[in-house]
Amino acid sequence: MDYFSERASWRLGNSGKPMHQPCPNCFVIITATQTTRASFYYLCLSLKVGQFFAYYLKGSVIPFISISDAKKVINSALQNYEAQKWQMKVEKLKKITVFEENLKQQLATISKLKIALLRS
């Protein structure tokens, strides 16, 4: 089961971001199989990264996307879905996501190293 962030911190820009763990004010998308779940997750992630949800964000202090607007964007993407092209994009997006997580871990380690250096 994946969760879809309806509303999150403005600075983090999480509105419309697919997640594996729920957060307050998110909505759930349930799929029949694990394969469909993974494809759907990366479809939503690509829509988020491609800023397809940005037009539909509401709220001046805390941006959010309504369920009906999210459905519009996702249904439109599914109508334009080409399985072979999509699978190639999903694989590339998975690799980029893993690389991004690795970089985040490296930055966190560097930050800890700076603190350790200054405290010694």
Domain extent listing, the chain: 1-80, 82-120
Spell 70-97 as b/e; 16+ CB within 10 A means b.
Answer: beebbeebeeeeeeeebeeebeebeeee
Quick check: 60 and 37 in contact, CB under 8 A?
no
CA distance linking residue 101 with residue 116, whole number of Å: 23
pLDDT score recorded for residue 4: 47
pLDDT of residue 83: 66
Residue 67 is predicted with a pLDDT of: 85
Q: Could you list the mean pLDDT of each consecutive 10-residue stretch along the chain, which spans 120 residues? A: 42 67 77 81 83 85 83 85 74 88 96 92
Task: Return phi, psi of residue 78, to 5°.
Answer: -65, -30
